[in-house]
Structure formats: C-alpha cells, structure tokens
C-alpha cells in the first residue's frame, strides 16, 4: 500500500514536469490612446494644462512629436508620466497647434494640442520695467535685456494685486481713464477741493497722478494700452498736489487733507499701500513735522487690524540739482561738467535723500530710481535712507522712460497734439496711441515709487496676512544686487597733491547680518517673482515691533578739524539688544559751510554707513542774513537722518558717529539765472551733540 502511494506521487510529479517546458501564451499589447485637447490663454499668463492619454496595461510617457512646432511661446512638459504641462507666451494673439505623443514603450498614439492666444495689452511689449527684452520704449536707444523687476515671476504665481487697494496721493487721478476705470474703487476716491468722489485734476496738463496710477494698476489683458505691475489691484485717488482754479482754497496741502488722504479717515483707510510720488528739497537742515510723523506711525502700525499699511515715498530727483523756493540750486560746475561729459560735483549727489526729513521718517519706504540699463537713473537722489530701487528710467527721448497712462484725449496731459510730440509716440499720430491716452516719457523716482507700490500690492495679494514689517523684510531679503561692480565715489580731503581720499559713497557692503546694501540702491532692485515666492512660503517671525528711546550725548564741544580725513568721533554705548530694522540719529553741529561736512555712523559690528555725503546742497548759508536770527543757519540742529544699512544687526554695543570736513579750499554754488555764490571757509566747526534710536525687535 505504501509503495502504491509513492508510485502515484512519482507519476504525478512526472506529469507536472512534462507541462513546465511550454511557456504560457503572451498577453496581447494594447496600444495607448490619446485625445486632442484645446486651451485658451492670454499674453504673458502661465497656462497649466494637461495632455490626455492612457494605456490599458499601465504607465505611459508624454512627449512632443516635434518641439519646433511651438512657435509662439514656451511649452514645457512638467510631468512626462501624467502629461502635465505649462505654456507661456508674449504673443498678442494667434493659435499654437502642437502634436504630442503618448507611448507605452512599444506603441504610441499621436494627438493635437491647440492653444488659442486671446487677451493682451498692445503696449506691454514696450514696458521694459515689467519685462526688459532690450526694447526702446519709443526712445532712440534700447535698454539692456533682463534688467527688470521680474514681474513675470509674480504673474506666473498668480500674484497680481487682487484684493489690495492702493491710494494714489498725487495731483489727482483720472478715474474715467479707459485703462484705469475697471480697477478704480467705485465712489472710493475723494477730491480734496470740491469734496466730490472724482479726484481728476482741474488743470488739463496735470497728468502725473494718472501716470502713477497706470504704473501701479492699469487693467491687464483688455486689448488696450499697457498694464500695471499689479493689474488686478484696486485704486483710490486724492488730489493732494492739485490747485483750486477758483482760488477759494488757498492750499490743498493742509494737515487735515494730509490725514484724510493718508489713511487717517474713512476716505482712505481701505488702502494698504499709499503711493507718494512727491517730495521737497530745501537747501538748509530742518526737523520733522511731528504731526505728520505721528500720523505715519499710527497708520503704519495700527491699521488693517494691526497688520499695518505701507507708505512708499520717492527719494527725489536731485542728484544733479534741485528746485526750492522758486529757484534751481546746483553745483558750480554743473554746466561745464555736462558739456565735458563728466560728472559734476565730484560725482556726488547735490540732493542727498536724507536732506528731506520726510525721507528720514522710518515709516516711509524710500525708493531710488534705476534705468533700463540696470544702473542708477541719472537724476535719482540717493542716501542711506534708501530701502530699495525700482525702475524710473531716463527721459524717454534718448533712453527709455516708462510707458504708462496719460490723461485721455489729445487735448489733455503730456501726449498732446502733433505740434508738441515729446517722442514719436506722442502727438496723436502713432498707430498705438491715436487717442493720446498714453505717454512714453514718465520718469523720475515718481515712477520708481509706483513700481514699488504695485510690487507691494502683488506681494500682499500673495499673502494678505503679512504685516508692514513682513513686507519690508521680504523686500530686503529678495532684492537683486544690481550694478554689482559699481566703484566707490571718493573725494580728496584737502587740496594738496597727496591729499588722502574720503570714501563718500562706498561700494556695495555686506553688513554683519549678511544683507547687501548700497547708498544708491538700498538693498537692491525689487525682484517681484522672488518676493512673491517668499511671501507665499513666509515663515519669519519678527516678534513685537519696538522703538527705543533716544539715547545721546547732548553737551559736546568737539572741534571738527578742517580738511582732516580722521574728522571727529564720538561714541555711545547701547545696552538694549534689538535686531535692527532701522536706525535714526539726530545731529547738532555748528558749521558755517555745511557742504564741506560728511556724516557717518559705525555699528558695533564695524558696518559703516554714510548718512550725509559732502558737497551736498545744504548751501543756504551762502545767502542767509546772519543778522536775522530767523534766517541764520549755524549748522545742524537736532537734524534727523535715517540709515537702513544696519538691517538685521544687533543694536547692542558701541556706536560711533564720525563727522569729517573734506574741504579746506574755496566753495561756490549756483542759483540758476540769479547768481554764483561763494561760501567762505570756516577753519573748524563744532560737534555739539547727537542721539540715536533703533527700530526693531528682540533678538
């Protein structure tokens, strides 16, 4: 019985073995399938699309049959397994027809992707500040490709200012302009003269605020004109710089109107960004307007449920000269240097931005201007109080300015009838501007400010929960270090052949916290794509905002030696340990020729910031009446100055102020068409006191 079982088992095993030498029949391969797909997209927007295909047996791969078929834009298959793709184009219109294939490694299927391009802005191609392709923007010369704010990077991330309101505080805003009206808050603006909701300027030639509004938020993809940096932001306007043609309102610029238009009223408290493309220059030191300062602080720190608002401020256009009290004040060599094609005034700014104390207010984010070649605009004021730089361009004739909205019609604004064309684009004859609704000559830090305001609106649309300090931190952390090889500006101290050189505008510095900073550019040019990315992923915690009390040495009597590079120094030891967000000083020093004097501050970590460059326009002492106490300027008198160069450093330790007199020789300046004025030299001035305070948060 046992033997029979064994025999049966062997037989079964043999039978099983006989079948193992025959392979099972292979399953038949099913070819993959695909389907035609179609999409629509607008100029410069990013399409995130999906190719259609599948395979019954499993995974497939997607690819283009012929990449050369993509002729109007850039198509990238971002996931070859799923068929996800992106597409972006700068074309105004057209249809892209591209074949794609789906493969399983053995067989493939081919279908067609059709992309219809519809929705554009015809002047976008000339708006180099948005995307610099080396265009000329209707000027004689072209810019340098790539020198822009990377607005495309923000648009690709969907950050276009949606949900954010920007206040244009200017000479007014033409709220009926065809390219602005869709983004103007209905009933949200205010005429400070008439009390109506229409802030359109009374003077037909006043187009400044309308140009500013277009840079910020001209409507996008509507088939007319250009577009704004934040083309989905909302605008409200105030005619704070306007004049009453009837003469009944003597001055619009009262503190009441300042408050009404700057966030301290129901008329303006909906704005999270305030654009101030205005300022003033005076040839003598002066102090803060404390009422305005208090309002700036309150609105900045307490509005928007405590998140705060951001005031953007033009640095000024006075590098070469400035207008004040009805006259043009300028260096004595301005015209000769211009003829010779060399830098006047020892290459230094006649208007240092810290000369205007509203620019020394920490609650104003001060902006310098950069041009289409990626260097400082020729006119732009600069200083230690610059936070960032943004496109302002040049004058639009030889080199590109900014293309933006003008007053509508050929009888208003800057682009008027053909007998007065500023460029070929003006005058009503250019096919892209037949109605004269646009201008190609907007420039100045007046343009840099709205480029910044639009950028901030886009950043806030990416993350509305950001505070005013978060926005500044993002800008400082992501700005592009432009003009990286710029040489320092030095001046000889004294008149001898071997006179030592004073480094009045240093090259780019890297402070102890790792931030790059330059007197002309602040932290650099805005990189909006990088800023939006950081905003979306924002994780920094700046803690509670703190402002220290003023701490100082108020009873000094230290000589400022004439033409000595060592100058005079004084130190203050600070015990508070804050992470610095800004530093302010107040300086008192007697000197009867202030353009001789440079002022610098050195941190405990050794970072050096020149708060006031020499050969500046503090020249009123040349025309003052020394017998009139109300006209006498003895020097600096608790004069405020601001520096952003120490951002991120510690406040704790010894801070050193240094005052240097660079000139023992003659000094003259020019009041244009009035007189050349000489200011006699004073052997020694006196450092009489200074104080310092810090804005920041606990380490």
For 38-48, write each residue's pLDDT tens digit.
999 999 999 99
Q: Which of 170, 358, 562, 661 is catalytic?
A: 170
Q: Which of 190, 208, 399, 426 is catalytic?
A: 208
Residue bearing tokens 């025959």: 22
* Spatial distance between the Cα atoms of 129 and 149, rounded to a whole number of angstroms: 6
Which pTM was predicted? 0.94
DSSP H helices in 430-569? 445-462, 468-478, 528-536
pLDDT above 90: residue 422: no
Phi and psi, residue 357, nearest 5°: -70, -20
- In words, the CATH class of domain 33-117 is mainly beta
Count of CB atoms situated within 10 Å of the CB of 653: 15
CA distances to 365, 390, 438, 602, 630 from 453, rounded to whole Å, are 10, 10, 20, 31, 39
Cβ–Cβ < 8 Å for 183, 234: yes
> What residues contact 462, with CB distance under 8 A and at least 6 apart?
154, 157, 158, 159, 532, 535, 536
469 exposed, middle or buried (CB, 10 Å; 0-12, 13-18, 19+)?
buried
Q: Which of 371, 422, 398, 441 is nearest to 141 (CA)?
A: 398
- Is 470 in a helix, a strand, or coil? helix
pLDDT above 50: residue 425: yes
pLDDT above 70: residue 10: no
Residue 642: predicted pLDDT: 98
Where residue 419 falls among pLDDT bands split at 50, 70, 90? confident
> What residues contact 231, with CB distance under 8 A and at least 6 apart?
160, 161, 183, 217, 218, 219, 220, 221
Per-residue model confidence as pLDDT tens digits over 206-247: 999 999 999 999 999 999 999 999 999 999 999 999 999 999
Which DSSP state fits 124? G
Q: What percent of the chain has pLDDT over 90?
A: 93
Residue bearing tokens 């801070």: 655
pLDDT above 60: residue 11: no
pLDDT above 90: residue 14: no
Where residue 5 falls among pLDDT bands split at 50, 70, 90? very low
Q: Which of 277, 422, 446, 603 is catalytic?
A: 446
Q: What is the DSSP string of 352-375?
A: BGGGSGGGG-TTEEEEEEE-TTSS
* Spatial distance between the Cα atoms of 475 and 530, rounded to a whole number of angstroms: 9
pLDDT above 80: residue 202: yes
**Encoded tokens for 353:** 């931005």
Q: Does domain 501-506+546-698 have CATH number 2.60.120.260?
A: yes
Cβ–Cβ < 8 Å for 299, 649: no
Query: What are the boundaries of each domain within the chain?
Result: 33-117, 122-316+351-483, 501-506+546-698
What is the Cα 292 distance to its own chain's centre?
Answer: 23
pLDDT above 60: residue 567: yes
Residue 15: predicted pLDDT: 34
> What residues contact 81, with CB distance under 8 A and at least 6 apart?
59, 60, 61, 62
pLDDT above 70: residue 107: yes
Choice among 14-23, 582-591, 602-611 with the minimum mean pLDDT: 14-23
Per-residue model confidence as pLDDT tens digits over 252-305: 999 999 999 999 999 999 999 999 999 999 999 999 999 999 999 999 999 999
**Encoded tokens for 626:** 């020394």
Q: What percent of the chain has pLDDT over 70?
A: 96
Where residue 2 falls among pLDDT bands split at 50, 70, 90? very low
Residue 21: predicted pLDDT: 55
Phi and psi, residue 101, nearest 5°: -125, 150
* 122-316+351-483 to CATH, choices 3.60.90.10, 3.40.50.720, 3.40.50.200, 3.40.50.11900: 3.40.50.200
446 is catalytic: yes
Q: Which of 111, 105, 113 is nearest to 31 (CA)?
A: 105
**Encoded tokens for 63:** 């690819």
Mean pLDDT of the chain: 95
Residue 57: predicted pLDDT: 85
What is the Cα 397 distance to its own chain's centre?
Answer: 23
CA distances to 42, 95, 448 from 87, rounded to whole Å, are 10, 13, 31
* Spatial distance between the Cα atoms of 259 and 303, rounded to a whole number of angstroms: 13
Q: Strands, E, within 18-135: which ranges?
A: 33-35, 37-41, 46-50, 52-54, 61-64, 73-79, 84-89, 94-103, 108-117
Where residue 23 falls among pLDDT bands split at 50, 70, 90? low
In this prediction, residues 344-355 reach a mean pLDDT of 98
pLDDT above 70: residue 80: yes
208 is catalytic: yes
Which DSSP state fits 376? B
CA distances to 92, 366, 389, 390, 510 from 522, rounded to whole Å, are 36, 9, 7, 10, 12
Q: What is the DSSP string of 202-237?
A: SSTT--HHHHHHHHHHPPSSSSSS---SSTT-EEEE
* Spatial distance between the Cα atoms of 402 and 424, rounded to a whole number of angstroms: 14
Edge-to-edge strand ranges of the sheet holding 165-169: 234-238, 165-169, 273-276, 310-314, 364-370, 386-391
pLDDT above 70: residue 13: no
* Spatial distance between the Cα atoms of 106 and 32, rounded to a whole number of angstroms: 9
Cβ–Cβ < 8 Å for 354, 641: yes
Strands 37-41 and 108-117: parallel
399 is catalytic: no
Residue 25: predicted pLDDT: 64
Edge-to-edge strand ranges of the sheet holding 84-89: 46-50, 84-89, 73-79
């Amino acid at each position: 019985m046992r033997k029979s079982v064994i025999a049966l088992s062997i037989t079964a095993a043999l039978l099983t073995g006989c079948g193992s030498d025959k392979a099972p029949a292979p399953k038949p391969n099913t070819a993959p399938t695909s389907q035609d797909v179609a999409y629509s997209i607008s100029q410069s927007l990013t399409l995130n699309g999906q190719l259609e295909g599948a395979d019954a047996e499993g995974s497939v791969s997607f690819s283009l049959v012929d990449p050369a078929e993509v002729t109007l834009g850039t198509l990238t298959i971002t996931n070859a397994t799923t068929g996800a793709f992106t597409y972006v184009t700068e074309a105004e219109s057209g249809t892209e027809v591209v074949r794609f294939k789906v493969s399983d490694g053995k067989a493939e299927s081919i279908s067609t992707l059709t992309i219809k391009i519809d929705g554009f802005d015809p002047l976008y191609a000339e708006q180099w500040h948005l995307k610099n392709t080396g265009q000329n923007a209707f000027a004689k010369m072209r810019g340098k490709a790539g020198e822009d704010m990377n607005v495309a990077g923000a648009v690709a991330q969907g950050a276009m200012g949606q949900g954010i309101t920007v206040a244009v505080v200017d000479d007014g805003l033409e709220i009926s302009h065809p390219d602005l009206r869709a983004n103007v808050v209905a009933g949200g603006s205010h005429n400070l003269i008439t009390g109506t909701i229409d802030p359109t300027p009374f003077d037909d030639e006043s187009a400044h605020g309308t140009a500013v509004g277009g840079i910020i938020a001209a409507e996008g993809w509507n088939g007319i004109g250009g577009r704004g940096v934040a083309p989905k932001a909302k605008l409200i306007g105030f005619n704070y710089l306007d004049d009453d043609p009837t003469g009944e309102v003597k001055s619009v610029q009262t503190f009441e109107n300042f408050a009404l238009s700057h966030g301290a009223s129901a008329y303006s408290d909906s704005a999270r960004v305030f654009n101030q493309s205005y300022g003033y220059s005076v040839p003598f030191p002066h102090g803060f307007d404390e009422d305005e300062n208090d309002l700036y602080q309150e609105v900045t720190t307490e509005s928007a449920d405590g998140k705060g608002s951001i005031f953007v401020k033009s640095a000024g256009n006075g590098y070469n000269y400035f207008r004040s009290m009805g006259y043009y004040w300028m260096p004595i060599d301005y015209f000769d240097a211009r003829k010779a094609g060399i830098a006047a005034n020892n290459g230094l700014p006649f208007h240092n931005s810290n000369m205007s104390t509203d620019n020394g207010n920490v609650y104003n984010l001060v902006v310098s201007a950069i041009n289409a070649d990626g260097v400082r605009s020729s006119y732009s004021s600069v200083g230690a109080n610059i936070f960032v730089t943004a496109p302002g361009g040049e004058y639009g004739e030889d080199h590109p300015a900014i293309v933006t909205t003008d007053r509508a019609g050929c009888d208003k604004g800057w682009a008027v009838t053909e007998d007065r064309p500023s460029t070929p684009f003006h005058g009503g004859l250019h096919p892209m501007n037949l109605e004269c609704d646009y201008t190609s000559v907007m420039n100045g830090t007046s343009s840099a400010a709205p480029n910044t305001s639009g950028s901030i609106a886009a950043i806030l649309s990416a993350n509305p929960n950001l505070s005013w300090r978060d926005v500044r931190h993002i800008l400082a952390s992501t700005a592009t270090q432009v003009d990286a090889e710029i040489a320092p500006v030095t001046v000889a101290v004294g008149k001898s052949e071997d006179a030592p050189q004073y480094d009045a505008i240093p090259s780019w510095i890297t402070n102890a916290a790792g931030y790059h900073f330059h007197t002309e550019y602040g932290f650099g040019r805005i990189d909006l794509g990088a800023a939006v990315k950081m905003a979306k992923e924002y994780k920094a915690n700046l803690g509670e905002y703190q402002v220290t009390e003023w701490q100082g040495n108020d009873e000094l009597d230290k000589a400022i030696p004439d033409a000595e590079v060592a100058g005079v120094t004084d130190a203050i030891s600070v015990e508070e340990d804050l992470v610095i967000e800004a530093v302010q000083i107040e300086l008192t020093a007697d000197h009867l020729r202030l353009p001789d004097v440079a002022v610098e501050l050195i941190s405990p970590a050794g970072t050096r910031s020149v708060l006031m460059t020499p050969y500046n326009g503090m020249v009123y002492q040349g025309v003052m009446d020394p017998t009139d106490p109300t006209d006498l300027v003895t020097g600096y008198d608790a004069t405020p100055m601001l520096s952003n160069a120490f951002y991120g450093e510690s406040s704790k330790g010894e801070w050193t102020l240094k005052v240097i007199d660079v000139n023992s020789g003659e000094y003259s300046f020019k009041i244009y068409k009035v007189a050349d004025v000489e200011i006699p030299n004073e052997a020694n001035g006196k450092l009489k006191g200074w104080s310092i305070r810090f804005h920041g948060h606990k380490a």
